[in-house]
Structure 1
């Protein structure tokens, strides 16, 4: 159960935890509140109601995680669709010489940018670099080896390696 208005706002702004709890309480009150002065019957727990339908739940959203996922989707769009106007504006303003995953959040950043940066780590934890021709891959810094503990090359002598990134 998602409402159109909170979903749009949650796509660009990190909602305060208190607000997410209040919205969840309103949804629970609808299902478990009163009807003609009598308390409604609790047929299952809220945890069960928020499980996916294929797992036996009702598919209600955990609003904190849903908010994080929507913000992560916006972060993902920036490098994947660099020709979008929003991608061009945010790139020029906040990370003109690096990637979104290496930039820092300035103290005077907009609320939208602060919200996106709050979810950035969750997106970064789940991505690996696709090598392609290898020209833009930094094998020492980028995550690119799936299944490896650090997703990077491991060897005892790597600590002293003097290798550089290939450039044309």
Structure 2
């Protein structure tokens, strides 16, 4: 289930079945509505019942698979995917071609979630683009907002070299 995105119609049907279990009253048996439906999906810390929204849960599982490939690049699965789909770049910068496999398209869904919530740690700066990557510790976009004025300079490491440090 962690690599398959369920159709929205199926997710809606599963949620409907869950709500019927909790609140469906019949003439023989009357059930009490414990909480509004939208509160069921809140965490228990926030006053909800802690039910899991399946679409969000499956997206999180897909992101977890991508995270493992990024942090364990020497595994057989990571090496196979790199060889087929992103031999010259990283997983975060790979493209989803028109003839990509079902598995790779699912990984692209997980990659979107990771790219929304991650940013670079500079290190030596050779892999981090000045204008294209998220590396600024500012929560608005985490990117440089100023217009491109540095010409051919592309990485943060080149900024360090040009400043004479």
What TM-score results when the alignment is normalised by the length of structure 1? 0.81
Q: Which runs of 5+ in 2 are unaligned?
A: 159-165
Is 2:35 the counterpart of 1:44?
Answer: yes
Which residue, out of 45, 59, 67, partners 1:76? 67
1:14-33 residue CA offsets vs partner (Å, 9 max, x unmatched): 11111111222222222223
The corresponding residue for 1:163 is: 153
The corresponding residue for 1:143 is: 134
The corresponding residue for 2:18 is: 27
Helix, strand or coil: the match of 2:91? Answer: coil
Is 2:33 the counterpart of 1:54?
Answer: no
Helix, strand or coil: the match of 1:134? Answer: coil
Q: After alignment, is 75-84 or 133-142 more displaced?
A: 133-142
Q: CA RMSD in A?
A: 2.2
CA contact (8 A) 2:39 2:48 kept: yes
1:105-133 residue CA offsets vs partner (Å, 9 max, x unmatched): 12222222212212322221111001112
**Closer, same or farther in 2 for the Cα pair 1:34/1:84, shift >3 Å?**
farther
The corresponding residue for 2:163 is: none
Helix, strand or coil: the match of 1:29? Answer: helix
| Distance of 1:19 and 1:127 partners within structure 2 | 31
Q: After alignment, is 38-47 or 93-102 more displaced?
A: 38-47
Q: Which runs of 5+ in 1 are unaligned?
A: 1-8
- Deviation of the 1:141 alpha carbon: 2.0
The corresponding residue for 1:3 is: none
The corresponding residue for 1:129 is: 120
What TM-score results when the alignment is normalised by the length of structure 2? 0.82
**Closer, same or farther in 2 for the Cα pair 1:97/1:37, shift >3 Å?**
farther
CA contact (8 A) 1:50 1:62 kept: yes
- Deviation of the 1:50 alpha carbon: 0.9
Aligned residues between the structures: 157
